[in-house]
Amino acid sequence: MTRTYRCKSRPAFVTLLAIVMLGLVATALTSAALLIRNDIRRTQTMEIDAQLRQLLLAGIPNAVARSQNWSDATVPQTWSIALPNDPLMQEASLSSELESISSGSVEVRISATLAARRADEQLHFQREGNEWKLTETHLGPPG
């Protein structure tokens, strides 16, 4: 006598398991996409911040060259610094402002903007004899 066993099918359990597995896969893919998007955004921000620091560095020689024309009675002034004609720099601007003046001391603030981000740098000049010497620089955080 041979017996045949029938396997009881459980279609509801298998369907529920498949739905749960699809949900887990969807959640994992969404999390991976968010992580990748955040990495891309952070990389772009770091690239812009590095370019802002380069712009600020480019502003230092300009301020030093202008300091050769300053007298003891220097008046506050603002000037823009010309940038190279580069497609990546179309949104960029670089300007300097002679801020605080005391006897024998001048502060210059260099401001760089690129892609809606901004960075500033303070330069401190001291009068030594007939010349202005750059004595300190302070880089502000990009924002």
Residue 74 in any domain: the answer is yes
Q: How many domains does the chain have?
A: 1
The pLDDT tens digits for 62-86 are 999 998 888 776 778 899 998 888 8
Residue 39 in any domain: the answer is yes
Residue 22 domain boundaries: 11-139
The pLDDT tens digits for 7-46 are 666 778 889 999 999 999 999 999 999 999 999 999 988 9
Residue 135 in any domain: the answer is yes
Q: What local confidence, expressed as pLDDT, does residue 129 receive?
A: 86
Residue 3 in any domain: the answer is no
DSSP notation for 91-120? T-EEEEEEEEEETTEEEEEEEEEETTEEEE
Residue 2 in any domain: the answer is no
Residue 46 in any domain: the answer is yes
By percentage, how much of the chain surpasses pLDDT 90?
51
Tell me how far CA of residue 69 lies from CA of 36, 83, 87, 123, 131, in angstroms.
51, 22, 33, 16, 9
Residue 4 in any domain: the answer is no
pTM of the model: 0.72
Residue 64 in any domain: the answer is yes
